[in-house]
Structure 1
Amino acid sequence: MKKYSIIIGLITLLGALLLLGGCGTTQENPPTGNNPVEQPAQEDKFAYYLAYQENTRYVYEGQGNEYASYDIYVDYSTGDRVQLRTNNGGTEMVRVLVLDAGQIVQQLAQGETYYREDLTKSPKLNKNGEVLLKEPLTKGTTWTLADNRKRTITNVDAALSTPSGNYKVVEVTTEGNDSKVIDYYAPNVGLVKTVFKGTDGFEVTSTLSKLEKNTPLVQNVRAYYPNIDDGKIHTTSLQLSFKTNDITKQVFEGEFKKQAANHGKLIGENVKIKSLYLNQDGRVYVDFTKNLVTEMNAGAGYEGMILQSIVNTLGDYYGVSEVNLTIEGEPYASGHVEMKKGEFFKVNKNNVVEK
């Protein structure tokens, strides 16, 4: 059981080490054929390992463990930091990597994160997080992690062949009491291979097999819509598509304005979602422009169904039971429904017809 826990922890960590590469201004395509990628100038080398390719699915094939295969998407990129989403088929984890003072530091690793939100400047970030790579990029550079494992750059010009191409890589070796992890990084590509070796000869590998360009993150979301004919709220399945740096509130705003089959819209054409986020108190906070009410044009019963549909949709997406729905920062008030400050709408499925 101890060995299995170590392996699962390692495979979860693999996505965190992705310093994914390839801005369109530097190298549009990953290297292929027999020619390794050209190394950048020495003074530019380090920054290239936090490069990324937007709107690209990174596919890693694994051997030795069911969680060794996984996909990576770039949720957000803001110059000196990148937010990565790892999906290994069992769970999704979000990580934020930051370029800081000659180090690439994993400042956030948050598991079970199925919703999409920009965490690149979250108060949860730990500036003293795990150092993945540091200058100088020379053989022998060594640092010690918080758990006392030793991490060392063991090669800076190794040749490596993978299904995604041939590379000249930086090799980084992390040694613990009963295991060794070897990571291989290519400039403008990032992590291309990881090898986990146990003291008993057990080995797990994850290798970059392909980069699928122009591939946004697609999330299947259960949405709720009121049906005026039967007085019920009906569910439907939506596919939300997110490109790198897309703003989640804008994606939901667009979906809420669409006419669902046999159901009404949730918000009017001119309504805006001013803010949408999961708060640290475990509730979702969503703020609308005041025309949410004026463009609703609904009686008390139907208005209640619209509000419940919005609350249920956002509650399900973020995995919470309460939603703070406000208008221009003030408690929701329409004449039919009057909320008090600090009062929350609750996710309620009592009047729901599941599809």
Structure 2
Amino acid sequence: MGINKEVAIMKKRTLMMGVFSVLLSLIFLGGCGTNQNNPPNEPPNNSEQPAQEDMLANCLAYQENTKYVYEGQGNEYASFTTYVDYFKGDKVQLRTNNGGTETVRVLGLNAGQMIQLLAQGETYYREDLTQSSKLNSNGEVLLKEPLTKGTSWTLADNRKRTITNVDMDLSTPAGAYKVIEVTTEGKDNTIMDYYAPGVGLVKTVYKGSDGYEVTSTLSKLEKNTPLVQQVKIYYPNIDDGKIHTTNIPLSFKTNDITKQIFEDEFKKQAANHGKLIGENVKIKSLYLNQDGRVYVDFTKNFVTEMNAGAGYEGMILQSIVNTLGNYYGASEIYLTMEGEPYASGHIEMKKGEFFKVNMDNVVEG
């Protein structure tokens, strides 16, 4: 993302109302099957419904490769979209975009509870965080067994969260659902969320003590729809000695590996520009480290397949560095070949030495 765009987004984000922050903390719960004939806190009848652990797992049954579209009322940020970035075992990584910012969350199951393991704002890059060291097993409890009306628990901020209804009929623009209602009571507001089995959130309602109300309702499910990000790719041009940019739409399906998407794109021949890597070169790893730098590791044939003079080699490297730096919002890139610092005969990097994003020789468009 360019600097100007990032500044604009930061300005928009500072204008967000506090109420939407509260709403956003709840929008990633999944739908659960329940049985309204069971009295509060009484174990379910296994002959009538799945075991509790199966029901809780159903709460994470978000639909892969589907764009969730929500229409909002009462706040400009109450409308948003949600995608499933990754679905790994008992964890799901969800991405929401409300027009002002993108937030990524990881939800997981543990000891009969659904827990928010990670919440990370302004995450415009796509990376698998389901195994991140940032995951917090003591995070906010979003749902807990038994999944019956009356089950209640207290959050760390002293709000009370309760399953207040089950098998409730609810109609939305996306369809009619049997839902479970979860109510969160705060000091000055009440939030009610409605979830459908195998779908997830279908509606949320925020009610302030002053009568202020905000709603977000599922309006449609766009199946077989990947996440599409407009990514600026930098290419060297040997004719004018400049680095040129092209905005490319990159598509990500659920569980797609980001390094593979970039590897495929780097091998393409752009109009009037050279490729960034050879056909047989592989990106072995690619990630944004906690130090704020991007780490990328290529196979050793990166240099041999490049077959370039010193000047053009430098342009290729700078194009890769600028592309990855722009995508991840980083200024330094640690580029290695099978774990060793980059070395070609023309350019020799030392261990721990980073390439820096540099736009001095860039021609936009």
Letter aligned with residue 203 of structure 1: E
The match for 2:159 among 149, 154, 157 is 149
Local SS of the residue matching 2:306? coil
Instruction: Find the aligned partners of 2:241 and 2:23 in 1 and give their Cα distance.
Output: 48
Q: 1:329 to 1:42 in 2, by over 3 A?
A: closer
Local SS of the residue matching 1:253? helix
Letter aligned with residue 280 of structure 2: N
The match for 1:314 among 324, 329, 342 is 324
Q: Give the equivalent residue in structure 2 for 1:33.
A: none
Q: Give the equivalent residue in structure 2 for 1:30.
A: none
Q: Give the equivalent residue in structure 2 for 1:27.
A: none
Q: Give the equivalent residue in structure 2 for 1:85.
A: 95
Shift of 1:218: 0.3
Instruction: Find the aligned partners of 1:106 and 1:333 in 2 and give their Cα distance.
Output: 43
Q: Give the equivalent residue in structure 1 for 2:354.
A: 344
Q: Does 1:249 align with 2:259?
A: yes
* Identical aligned residues as a percent: 78
Matches within 5 A, 1:173-252: 173-252=183-262
Shifted more, 79-88 versus 161-170: the winner is 161-170
Q: Does 1:61 align with 2:76?
A: no
Matches within 5 A, 1:12-27: 12-15=24-27, 17-19=28-30
The match for 2:22 among 10, 13, 23 is 10
Q: How many residues align?
A: 335
Letter aligned with residue 41 of structure 1: P
Letter aligned with residue 138 of structure 2: N
What TM-score do the two structures reach when normalised by structure 2? 0.89
- Mind listing any 5+ residue stretches in structure 1 that lack a counterpart? 23-38
* Contact 2:31–2:58 (Cα < 8 Å) also in 1: no
Letter aligned with residue 19 of structure 1: G
Q: Give the equivalent residue in structure 1 for 2:3.
A: none
The match for 2:113 among 99, 103, 108 is 103
Q: Give the equivalent residue in structure 2 for 1:41.
A: 50
Deviations 1:136-166 (A, max 9, x none): 0111111111111000111112111111111
C-alpha RMSD of the superposition: 1.5
Shift of 1:10: 2.0
Instruction: Find the aligned partners of 2:302 and 2:227 in 1 and give their Cα distance.
Output: 29
Instruction: Find the aligned partners of 2:30 and 2:152 in 1 and give their Cα distance.
Output: 19
Local SS of the residue matching 1:295? helix
Shift of 1:20: 6.5
Letter aligned with residue 6 of structure 1: G
Matches within 5 A, 1:257-276: 257-276=267-286
Instruction: Find the aligned partners of 2:329 and 2:311 in 1 and give their Cα distance.
Output: 26
Q: 1:74 to 1:40 in 2, by over 3 A?
A: farther
Instruction: Find the aligned partners of 2:348 and 2:295 in 1 and give their Cα distance.
Output: 17
Instruction: Find the aligned partners of 1:208 and 1:21 in 2 and give their Cα distance.
Output: 16
* Contact 2:31–2:195 (Cα < 8 Å) also in 1: no
Q: Give the equivalent residue in structure 2 for 1:35.
A: none
Letter aligned with residue 13 of structure 1: S
* Contact 1:321–1:346 (Cα < 8 Å) also in 2: yes
Q: Give the equivalent residue in structure 1 for 2:43.
A: none
Shift of 1:14: 4.2
Shift of 1:45: 2.3
Deviations 1:220-273 (A, max 9, x none): 011100000000000111111000000000000000000011000000000000
* Contact 1:21–1:189 (Cα < 8 Å) also in 2: no
- Mind listing any 5+ residue stretches in structure 2 that lack a counterpart? 1-15, 34-47
Shifted more, 4-13 versus 211-220: the winner is 4-13
What TM-score do the two structures reach when normalised by structure 1? 0.92
